[in-house]
Amino acid sequence: METTAINPSAKLRIDTERRRSVNCILKNYKDSKSNLISILQDIQEKFSYLPTETLEEVAKKLNLKLIDVYGVATFYKSLRLSPQGKHNITLCLGTACHVRASAKILDEIQSQLGIGPGSTTENRELTFNTVNCLGVCAIGPVVVIDGKYYGRMTPIKTREMLSKYLKKKNFSNKATEKR
């Protein structure tokens, strides 16, 4: 969910534009209800995530309960309810990584970034996600930063790597601080 404060008239304008975009997307689908996933994917492609008002508009126009639209939006991992950062950090918590202590790496990442899995820092620089397998179990635990895979990670290696990464990207100590 969005947390950044914007003034009410700007918010109204953004909401109206987003609802208009949803209606344009809906025109591409004859049997809209059975194409709900495709519609949500199209909305996400436009906004990079699914803003609340777009889900409300979909529910209203398709005569669906909002909770059902949210149900679909939250069921599929590829659909996002919050904006994504410019950079991405992903940690695997699948079985092979879990038995090699990926939970401790999770603690380390959360502590360095100040956010939990599925969240984006307030400055919209970084998004942190966890997954259940990246298909490279032999080198687990695995952390992926901006598409680059780092295998056989430990909490200490993660701390050092993240600290270098945050410094290189010129992020403040806690990437959550607003700029």
Quick one: how far is CA 17 from the chain centroid? 22
Q: Residue 124 is encoded by which pair of tokens?
A: 């919209």
Measure the CA dihedral 68/70/73/77, to 10°: -110
The residue (of 79 and 93) whose beta carbon lies closer to ligand FES is 93
- Candidate list 28, 95, 111, 173; residue touching ligand FES; CB under 6 A: 95
Residue 134, interface with ligand FES (CB under 6 A)?
Answer: yes
What does each C-alpha distance from 167 to 76, 148, 164 come to in angstroms? 34, 17, 5
User: Helix, strand, or coil here: 90?
Assistant: strand
The residue (of 110 and 123) whose beta carbon lies closer to ligand FES is 110
Residue 106, interface with ligand FES (CB under 6 A)?
Answer: no
Residue 96, interface with ligand FES (CB under 6 A)?
Answer: yes
Binding site for ligand FES (CB under 6 A): 92, 94-97, 133-134, 136-137, 140, 142
